[in-house]
Amino acid sequence: MEHYDLIVLGAGSGGIAVAIHAAGHGAKVAVLEPNALGGTCVNVGCVPKKAMWFAADLAESLAVAHEVGFSTTPGELDWIEFIRRREAYIGNIHESYRQRFAASGIELIREYGRFTAPHGIVTESRDLAAAHIVIATGTRPHRLRIPGGDLGIDSDGFFALRARPQRVAVIGGGYIAVELAGVLHTLGADVSVFVRGDCLLHGFDREVTAELAEVMRARGVDIVTHHEPASVTHEANAHTLHFTDGSRMGGFDALIWAIGRDAHTGDLGLDVAGVVRDARGHVLADDWQNTNVAGVHALGDVTGRLALTPVAVAAGRRLADRLFGGKPQSRLDYANVPTVVFAHPPLGSVGLSEEEARVAYGDDMSMYRTRFRPMLGALTGASERTFLKLICAGAEERVVGIHILGRGADEMLQGFAVALKAGAHKRDFDATVAIHPTSAEEMVLMAEPNRAPVI
């Protein structure tokens, strides 16, 4: 039996963060990961997704440049060349992790591990034990269990594409569906998005997601709501979707399942250890990343809680500080975490949605909204608007929600998120001098509260 201070199951963003931080405090650490370092984010998530978003953004910029007088004519993306660069970038990340592990004295074991006891792990070739074990094994793409549900690809398969499909059906209405639909459409594909419910991005501010859907439709993306697949068939080199209402749509040369992800926990031996999971297999962990078993912790997507890379990283670092760094009160504050959906255009959000604010504050709240055509859009004659929304609570108008839809939302939100986290009030926004001419200045120039959506 080999003994460690910490064993980490999974080398995704959260697992790597907790391992490196714990080793920095002097802990003896082993990380078990048979697959590529970096997990979902680095290999089939945030990093390659943002790379493809950049490619689409460049295509959009080329079209705008041509519109305003540049002689450059937009052309097709050389997918093979771009993917070569994307994979080289990812390869550099892998190498940086290997170097950090070596420098930190972390032992990387390229095997799966499963529990044999609450503090015992077995791999194909080794028996390990540790006072603390962290479950950070992430998630896998989900598919519907319907006839033909194994047809098409999922988000992992999207990153294996080596050419742009022409007519694409995206099933789902969450982050992944919206982001992949935007990339593919902006790069020239005909895209239809099929949503089971009545809106995109369930859980976000409804007014903002309605604005996004309107913009996506205006750009040419077909968004079909209240359509739940019952089966899929493939004939004549095309996919056909059959829906529960009896309707059908076909002719798709690519079908992408983007209906969520399942916790990767089925083969970990959690029942042997006595670790409790929810109905979807997520490991239940409290605000301190503790499971129900003393010394067994969980963080990141496997917990089903705020599946965002920075959340996993922050939770991992704070857990390491608490366990090995002499900081017994160290834990992540899960409130007011900012997030961006890299749609076209991007949508950024921090704090409460209007729906959540109404539950929390009733009528004791005020909202500020503005829709405007950004300067570049005015120069090109585009009609698309940027939308900003500020939600304030109480007579003091403390800012409790910020929502941005439009070009640059991803870069705008971070600073405003700091203000919200620090407890800023509307008067603080009003007292801040605007940076002109920018889209961000509109966030500090909204003067009158309004309760009805701006038309």
Radius of gyration of the chain (CA): 24
Dihedrals φ, ψ of 229, to 5°? Answer: -65, 140
CA distance 5 to 3: 7
- Residue 4's DSSP bridge partners are 130
Q: List the Cα angle 376/352/264 in 5-degree steps.
A: 95
Q: Which residues are catalytic?
A: 436
CA distance 199 to 444: 29
| Contact indicator for 302, 138 with CB cutoff of 8 Å | yes
| Contact indicator for 422, 432 with CB cutoff of 8 Å | no
Amino acid 163 reads: A
| Strand 139-141 to 261-263 pairing | antiparallel
Exposure letters 402-431 (e unless 16+ CB within 10 A, then b): bbbbbbbbbebbeebbebbeeebbbeebee
- Longest Cα–Cα distance of the chain, Å, equals 70
Sheet holding 238-243, edge to edge: 229-235, 238-243, 248-252
| Strand 2-9 to 29-32 pairing | parallel
CA distance 51 to 28: 35
Exposure letters 160-198 (e unless 16+ CB within 10 A, then b): eeeeebebbbbbbbbbbbbbbbbbbbbbbbbbbbbbbee
Q: Show the beta-strand stretches assigned E in 65-216.
A: 107-109, 114-117, 120-122, 127-135, 139-141, 153-154, 167-171, 190-194
CA 290 to chain centre: 23
- Token digits for 449? 């509260």
| Contact indicator for 5, 131 with CB cutoff of 8 Å | yes
CA distance 368 to 362: 16
